[in-house]
Amino acid sequence: MAHDQFGELTGWDLEGFHNGGDTELWKRLGSHVVHESDDERGDIAGVRFAVWAPNAKSVQVIGDFNWWTGDAMHIIPGSGVWGAFIEGLGEGTLYKYRIETQDGRWIEKVDPMARFSEQAPANASIVYESKYVWSDDDWLEQRRAARAHAEPMSVYEVHLGGWRRGKSYLDLAEELVSYVKWQGYTHVEFMPLAEHPFEPSWGYQVTGYFSPTSRFGKPDDLRYLIDRLHQAGIGVIMDWVPGHFPKDEWALGRFDGTALYEHADPRQGEHVDWGTYIFNYGRNEVKSFLVSNALYWIDEFHIDGLRVDAVASMLYLDYSREEGEWIPNQYGGRENLEAIDFLRYVNRHLYERAPGVVMIAEESTSFAGVTKPVHEGGLGFGFKWNMGWMNDTLRYLQLDPIYRQYEHNLLTFAMVYQYSENFVLPISHDEVVHGKGSMVNKVPQDDWRKFASLRAYYSFMWSFPGKQLVFMGCEFGQRPEFNESVSLEWWVTELWGHGGLQRLFRDLNHIYRDNSALYELDSEPAGFTWINGDDRAHNTLAWVRNDSEGNHVACITNFSPEPLNDYEVGLPQAGAWEEILNTDSPIYDGSGEFGNLGEVQATPEPWGHFPARARVTVPPLGSIWLRRNQVS
């Protein structure tokens, strides 16, 4: 039975929600198990329900407790929020809201603030209260003191349903954690884990923003997975989708019969390409909803960072629209000023509220200042995916080696703008789906050249300024495109080429993490010095990575099928340089025929702008890394 007097919210509780400043909205709206004291009846337990539906004529809460027939809710004066306390209910209760619209229609909606939901295709919201006790205090303390830009970041992007099909959060807490730790990645990045009805959307069309998908278990099971990752020293980034949401009739769209979370005008409120709605970033309640959602994942699930999906679609009013299909801003421009203000608000709040978290933008244009601080006029992200680097280098990789000399600038152009933003270099799921082919099948010619080229490419990537991200399966050269409905082809890691590539990734990660010259000054010009960026005749690039202590790693990559013998390079110091990586090593299924016997001697003879020079052997379609530490 519903009781208005128990567990009730007040207009004062909701003031922050209405002015856009409530950053913990999940504590107020949604369903909550509460205990109330009554003078006559003593302690009373039940569930408090609260939902924002300002234009509804009436609202009911329906569920398995009332045979889905409806208990009336009352509106909290002046708030647009409807509430009810129903005695005797507890965790596990299934419920929805039945809303009467102004034109007399009745519609059923799931709870926008639900913290647990039924598995698709069912969609009822479920009352859930976490009882999880965390064991990652050491990790969180370390995170608070982190300097992300000056630390290694090697990210393994994962779709949980396709990594090993049928595994639960609890299974993955053993198997995924063990694998990522063995491979040496510093972070995992989960494709969206918020509830979504359509599996092939990979989570990018969200219907339950506060509800971890129940496909793999309960919310506390996800907490356990994240806790185990933290205990293993692995950070957790999650994809977050504040750019749009799907039109499923039972979800956020036209929630109370009107455009509540979205713009009413389709020129502002709909993505025609994606068949989705766009959030109304200028509405205070929507801002409270979204900023609370961002903090929710960080606060309640200890997520270490959010990678914000499709930022470009948020920044531009004319994104994927023809003339006349969009409305200019108040100054006549194409920038979405409300979305820009919202992103600044979210980034500023999270960096202040949870020091050490990282906010990462997937932004595919040259919008200025994506990673510049808000107080300097930027959007306030910590990092931005370098889509230009990704597109250019993949174009180069797909060329037959004989033509690469004519497109050499595809590998060097990214250095022209390298220090305009703080970059992540992404080889993500987007590059191995929808007919683009797997990474191994992008490379021309036979298997020897395919795998040698991939080894060279990834060593080039791991030594280039910026943090790294690679999608699951790329690390062992899976041949089919990504398919969320089946597992990765783990069996191929036992085969030639595939196993060697997987072992190379392990060594790339460990060498990278052990050498601060490869990451400390990623965002500063002092961290990178060209040796030779113009040797297009040999399809070869050479540079030195530096740290603040005077340590150096020289990185030379040969994208030609011809070996380079006695190849002369300049180096910043004379003396012995240790060969710490050779992608042609037999352990990586290389030939083992082209190397430097573990060391190169640099003589104190000037070479270009360097005080020393050396002659090296660089394998065909291969890379070598040479290290000179101050202590050596």
From CA 494, how far away is CA 274, in angstroms rounded?
40
Same domain, residue pair 90 and 146: no
Tens digits of residue pLDDT in 237-261: 999 999 999 999 999 999 999 999 9
Q: What is the domain extent for residue 603? A: 525-628
Whether residue 274 lies inside any domain: the answer is no
H-helix or E-strand spanning residue 31: strand 30-38
Instruction: Locate all alpha helices (DSSP H) within 187-329, ordered by sequence.
Output: 219-231, 266-269, 284-301, 311-315
**619 within domain boundaries:** yes
Quick: pLDDT tens for 46-103.
999 999 999 999 999 999 999 999 999 999 998 999 999 999 999 999 999 999 999 9
Catalytic (active site) residue 446:
no
pLDDT mean over 109-120: 97
Q: By CB neighbour count within 10 A (0-12 exposed, 13-18 middle, 19+ buried), where does 103 fall?
A: exposed
Q: Is the pTM of this model over 0.85?
A: yes
Residue ending a domain, choose from 494, 518, 542: 518
Residues 107 and 158 both lie in one domain: no
Instruction: List own/partner pairs for 14-18 with CB under 8 A and 24 or more apart.
Output: 14/76, 14/79, 14/81, 16/288, 17/52, 17/79, 17/81, 17/284, 17/285, 17/288, 18/79, 18/284, 18/285, 18/288
- Bridge partners of residue 619, in order along the sequence: none
Return the structure tokens found at 540: 């070869």
574 and 431 housed in the same domain:
no
CATH code assigned at 558 = 2.60.40.1180
Per residue in 344-381, pLDDT (tens digit) is 999 999 999 999 999 999 999 999 999 999 999 999 99
Residue 497 placed within a domain: yes
Q: What is the dihedral of CA 150, 152, 158, 164, to 10 degrees?
A: -160
Q: How confident is the model at residue 8 (pLDDT cuts 50, 70, 90)?
A: confident
Per-residue confidence at 165, pLDDT binned at 50, 70, 90? very high
The residues that bridge with 618 in the sheet, in sequence order, are 564
**DSSP 3-state of 190:** strand
Q: Which tokens is 298 given?
A: 């960080």
pLDDT tens digits, residue range 195-222? 999 998 999 999 999 999 999 999 999 9
What pLDDT sits at residue 160? 97
> Looking at residue 304, which CATH number applies to its domain?
3.20.20.80
Q: How far apart, in whole angstroms, are the C-alpha atoms of residue 312 and residue 327?
A: 17
The verdict on residue 445 lying in a domain is yes
Does a structural domain hold residue 541?
A: yes
Percent of the chain with pLDDT over 70: 97
Looking at the fold, whether 374 and 419 belong to one and the same domain comes out as yes
Q: What is the pLDDT of residue 11?
A: 72
* 503 & 540 share domain: no
Looking at the predicted structure, is the pLDDT value of residue 39 above 90?
Answer: no
Dump pLDDT digits (tens) for 255-305. 999 999 999 999 999 998 999 999 999 999 999 999 999 999 999 999 999
Q: Which of 220, 256, 362, 421 is catalytic?
A: 362
The mean pLDDT value for 335-340 works out to 96
Q: How far is CA 221 from CA 132, 501, 509, in A?
A: 9, 32, 28
- The residue from 518, 551, 579 where one domain ends is 518
Strand order in the sheet with 245-246: 245-246, 276-277, 270-271
pLDDT score of 78: 87
pLDDT band at 1 (very low <50, low <70, confident <90, very high): very low
Over residues 592-610, mean pLDDT? 95
Q: Is residue 562 part of a domain?
A: yes
Q: Does 5 score more than 70 pLDDT?
A: no
410 and 502 in a single domain? The answer is yes
Please determine, for residue 3, whether its predicted confidence score (pLDDT) is greater than 70: no
Same domain, 496 and 392: yes
The domain boundary, picked from 126, 151, 186, lies at: 126
Q: Return the H-helix or E-strand segment holding 554.
A: strand 552-558
One domain for residues 304 and 445: yes
Q: Helix 284-301 and helix 337-353: axis angle, to 10°?
A: 30
Which member of 309, 475, 507, 547 is catalytic?
A: 309
User: What SS3 class is residue 445?
Assistant: coil
| In the predicted structure, residue 325 carries a pLDDT above the cut 80 | yes
Whether residue 4 is predicted with pLDDT greater than 50 in this model: the reply is: no
Mean pLDDT within 187-192: 98
Instruction: Determine the average pLDDT of the residues in 103-132.
Output: 97
Do 185 and 59 share a structural domain? no
Pair (500, 533) in one structural domain: no
Q: Are residues 344 and 384 in the same domain?
A: yes
What's 90's domain CATH number? 2.60.40.10
pLDDT at 183 over 50: yes
Q: How does residue 632 score in pLDDT terms, banded at 50, 70 and 90?
A: very low
In a domain, 187, yes or no: yes
Q: Using the predicted structure, report yes or no on whether residue 6 has a pLDDT greater than 70.
A: no
- C-alpha span between 555 and 459 (Å, rounded): 9
Contact predicate 264/277, CB 8 Å: no
% of residues, the chain, pLDDT over 90: 94
Closest CA to 340 of 383, 309, 375, 379: 379
Residue 449 host element (H or E)? helix 447-463
Q: What is the mean pLDDT of residues 138-147?
A: 96
Question: How many independent structural domains does the chain possess?
Answer: 3
362 is catalytic: yes
Same domain, 404 and 505: yes
Q: What is the pLDDT of residue 159?
A: 97
The amino acid present at 390, given as its one-letter code, is: M
Distance of CA 384 to the CA centre of its chain: 10
Residue 313 covered by a domain: yes
* Chain segment 549-573, per-residue pLDDT in tens: 999 999 999 999 999 999 999 999 9
